[in-house]
Amino acid sequence: MTTESDAAVECPHAPACPGCSGIGRPIAAQLADKGERVRRAFADFGALAAVATWPVRGAAPITDYRTRAKLAVGRGARVGLFARGGHDVLDIPACRVLAPAVAETVAAV
């Protein structure tokens, strides 16, 4: 049985899409990395180095949650995100994190 902490969201757009840097990695690993980044940021400031941090908790659900997206419009009426490392618009019809209402609206454009 897969638990949410060891689940990894797979996305067909991941290789070219910069939208979700951790997609494809287990949620627990993403949360641990996020906590480590906070601890390192605090360590850069002497007074904050001793501040206790709590484990990062993820929100549920792990898919279909993003209700806002800053999208670009490209040639051929493509609506999506800029492809990784460039300005070509990547159509993202199977985005795993866009809320269904957002995905349906984008598809209708």
List, in order, residues 6 or more apart from 58 with CB less than 8 Å away. 4, 5, 27, 30, 31
Asked if omega into 61 is within 30° of 0 (cis), the reply is yes
Q: Tell me the one-letter amino acid at 13.
A: H
Q: How far is Cα 92 from Cα 6, in angstroms, rounded to an integer?
A: 25
Q: What is the pLDDT of residue 1?
A: 36
- Domain hosting 43: range is 4-108
Report the DSSP beta bridge partners of residue 91.
80
The DSSP secondary-structure symbol of 61 reads -
Q: How many domains does the chain have?
A: 1
**Percent above pLDDT 90 for the chain:** 33
Could you report the per-residue pLDDT of 26-52, keeping only the tens digit for each? 999 999 999 999 999 989 888 888 888
